[in-house]
């Protein structure tokens, strides 16, 4: 007879993580999934996308600016954070910086005493949203741009925004590097910029074309590729890289964990323009973007630009709520939750790695197979024939991204039918397919970088 002590010593060890691995700040960021981007500044009032930096600061004059309205709208729409253009290429600072004269201080808005970053960060805290900042290194206004002194100015500006407004969850660096007011380009001191962020906001992820933490997805339409690795050969890239097409898929053999963030605007432009009111993306377009970003192992950074009043326009606000409703309807009932879920193999026959773990949300518990096993299948058996058209899978990414290739089949009238093939899974993969009425759904993992594991297996019937 085995004593209880001996039983515990026979438990299987968890799979060895396969590098590169996400950091704790990455794991917190992955969970955000969907969040808001806010482009706001003089461009809003000039109906333009890129300011020259010569704009009279007094053009910035919102008549009813209300960051609580933005934050409430975003919270109600299921967006989990906000990233604001604290400084766009025109150099205008939405906070009263000590390092430029081109800022809210030089406007009549709140008699020059206003601070958009303060208002927004307070509102984010009130509504439970994370707060992030976009700071364009390219500055078409600053007199020092194009000289080594500007690198110091930019670090001081960063320090201000990272120390005055509480916790900052993401710092967004644009790769653009054009000419400044004196016709010169800047050689950016990226290592110095990064170390300022690490010093004052150690939990913030840093975004750029080349990470170091989060990468641009290589397009501005909100689409990751179906094959999307969180891994990147990071050292071959820099902000403004001409090789940006590679960012859409990442690299299977990547050296670092640098997952993709998919940025896209709800309108044609990044800044508000009244003429684009009829062109706000439809719920169908937004859902398609959602499936191609969050559903393809990316995050969705959805730009919703405030109007000249300083409010999220009624059309955009309603569209965001309708988009939320559509997601709620699509993922209302997990049909796999009540099914009998089995696997061809379970790691060490140990309950801690049992297939039932995939029926619970979160990625702390998961199903896994033995070391050296690179292909395995899981199946969900329904009590009676069940119609579904969405499958959701998640890997326990704390073990690294592992799955390379899989296929989905359905047991219909006693016969297995192919439904859809897939490659990567990563943090989240949602598969869309024509409704199928099946007794069983089977996922066969055909290849993986290391013994596969899954933290989540869910299925839905989405009527939209």
Q: Residue 160 interacts with ligand FUL (CB under 6 A)?
A: no
Q: Which string of b and e fits 404-431 if b means at least 16 CB within 10 Å? A: bbbebbbbeeeeeeebeebbbbbbbbbb
* Other beta carbons less than 10 A from residue 24's beta carbon: 9
Compute the least distance from the CB of residue 136 to ligand FUL, in Å.
7
The reply on whether position 170 binds ligand FUL by CB under 6 A is: no
Determine if 176 is a binding residue for ligand FUL (CB under 6 A): yes
Using alpha carbons, list the distances in angstroms from residue 64 to 275, 308, 343, 460: 20, 9, 58, 42
In the complex, least distance from residue 89 CB atom to ligand FUL, rounded to whole angstroms: 6
- 176: exposed, middle or buried (C-beta count within 10 Å: 0-12, 13-18, 19+)? middle
For position 119 contacting ligand FUL by CB under 6 A, the verdict is no
Closer CB to ligand FUL, 88 or 428, in the complex: 88
Phi-psi region of 401 (alpha: psi -120 to 50; beta: other; left: phi over 0): beta
- CA atoms of 448 and 368, how far apart (whole Å): 12
Residue closer to ligand FUL (CB basis): 135 or 197 = 135
270 is an interface residue for ligand FUL by CB under 6 A: yes
| 46 vs 337 by CB, closer to ligand FUL | 46
Q: How far is the CB of 323 from ligand FUL (least distance, A)?
A: 20
What H or E segment, with its residue span, contains residue 288?
helix 283-293
Residues contacting ligand FUL: total by CB under 6 A: 5
User: Is 154 an interacting residue with respect to ligand FUL (CB under 6 A)?
Assistant: no
What character string, x for contact with ligand FUL (CB under 6 A) and - otherwise, covers 229-268?
Answer: ----------------------------------x-----
Q: Compute the C-alpha angle 299/305/309, nearest 5°.
A: 155
Shortest separation between residue 234's beta carbon and ligand FUL, angstroms: 20
CA 116/CA 93 separation, integer angstroms: 9
Closest approach of Cβ 63 to ligand FUL, in Å?
24
Binding map of ligand FUL across residues 31-70, x = CB under 6 A, - = no contact: ------------------x---------------------
Q: Does 12 bind ligand FUL (CB under 6 A)?
A: no
Question: Is residue 337 at the binding interface for ligand FUL, with CB under 6 A as the rule?
Answer: no
DSSP 147-182: SHHHHHHHHHHHHHHHHSSS---EEEE-----B-TT
Helix (H) or strand (E) holding 418: strand 415-422
From the number of C-beta atoms within 10 Å of its C-beta (0-12, 13-18, 19+), residue 63 rates as exposed
Say whether residue 174 binds ligand FUL (CB under 6 A).
Answer: yes
Query: Least distance in Å: CB of 216 to ligand FUL?
Result: 9
Backbone angles phi, psi at 58, to 5 degrees: -65, -10
Task: Please say which residue, 241 or 386, places its beta carbon nearer to ligand FUL.
Answer: 241
What's the closest the beta carbon of residue 370 comes to ligand FUL, in angstroms? 45
- Nearer Cβ to ligand FUL, position 46 or 176? 176
Task: Give min distance, CB of 49 to ligand FUL, in A.
Answer: 6
| Residues forming the site for ligand FUL (CB under 6 A) | 49, 174, 176, 263, 270
């Amino acid at each position: 007879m085995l004593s209880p002590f001996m039983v515990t010593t026979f438990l299987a060890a968890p799979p060895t993580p396969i590098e590169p691995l996400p950091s704790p700040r990455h794991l917190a960021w992955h969970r955000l999934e969907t969040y808001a981007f806010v482009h706001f500044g003089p461009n809003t009032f000039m109906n333009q996308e890129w300011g020259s930096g010569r704009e009279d600061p007094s053009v910035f004059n919102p008549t009813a600016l209300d960051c609580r309205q933005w934050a409430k709208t975003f919270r109600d729409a299921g967006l989990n954070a906000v990233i604001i253009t604290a400084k766009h290429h025109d150099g205008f600072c939405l906070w009263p910086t000590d390092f430029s004269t081109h800022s809210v201080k030089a406007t009549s808005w709140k008699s020059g005493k206003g601070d958009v970053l303060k208002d927004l960060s307070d509102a984010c805290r009130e509504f439970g949203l994370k707060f992030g900042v976009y700071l364009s290194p390219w500055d078409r206004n600053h007199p020092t741009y194009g000289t080594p002194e500007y690198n110091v100015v930019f670090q001081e500006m960063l320090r201000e925004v990272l120390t005055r407004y509480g916790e900052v969850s993401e710092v967004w660096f644009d790769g653009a590097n054009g000419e400044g007011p004196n016709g010169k380009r800047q050689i950016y001191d990226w290592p110095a910029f990064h170390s300022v962020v690490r010093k004052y906001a150690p939990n913030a992820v840093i975004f750029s074309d080349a990470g170091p933490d989060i990468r641009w997805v290589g397009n501005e339409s909100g689409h990751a590729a179906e094959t999307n690795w969180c891994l990147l050969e990071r050292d071959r890239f820099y902000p403004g890289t001409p090789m940006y097409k590679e960012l859409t898929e990442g690299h299977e053999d990547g050296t670092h964990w640098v997952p993709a963030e998919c940025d896209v605007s709800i309108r044609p432009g990044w800044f508000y323009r009244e003429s684009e009111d009829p062109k706000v993306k439809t719920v169908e377009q937004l859902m398609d973007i959602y499936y191609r970003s969050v559903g393809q192992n990316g995050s969705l950074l959805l730009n919703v630009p405030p109007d000249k009043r300083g409010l999220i326009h009624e059309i955009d606000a309603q569209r965001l709520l309708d988009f939320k409703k559509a997601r709620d309807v699509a993922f209302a009932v997990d049909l796999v939750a009540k099914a009998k879920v089995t696997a061809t193999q379970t790691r060490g026959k140990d309950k801690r790695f049992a297939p039932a773990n995939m029926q619970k949300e979160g990625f702390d518990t998961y199903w896994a197979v033995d070391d050296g096993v690179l292909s395995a299948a899981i199946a969900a058996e329904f009590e009676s024939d069940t119609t579904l058209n969405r499958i959701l899978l998640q890997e326990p990414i704390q073990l690294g991204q592992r799955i390379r290739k899989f296929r989905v089949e359905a047991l219909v009238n006693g016969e297995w039918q192919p439904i859809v093939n897939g490659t990567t899974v990563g943090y989240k993969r949602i598969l869309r397919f024509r409704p199928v009425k099946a007794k069983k759904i089977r996922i066969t993992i055909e290849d993986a970088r290391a013994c596969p594991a899954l933290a989540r297996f869910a299925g839905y019937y989405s009527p939209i």
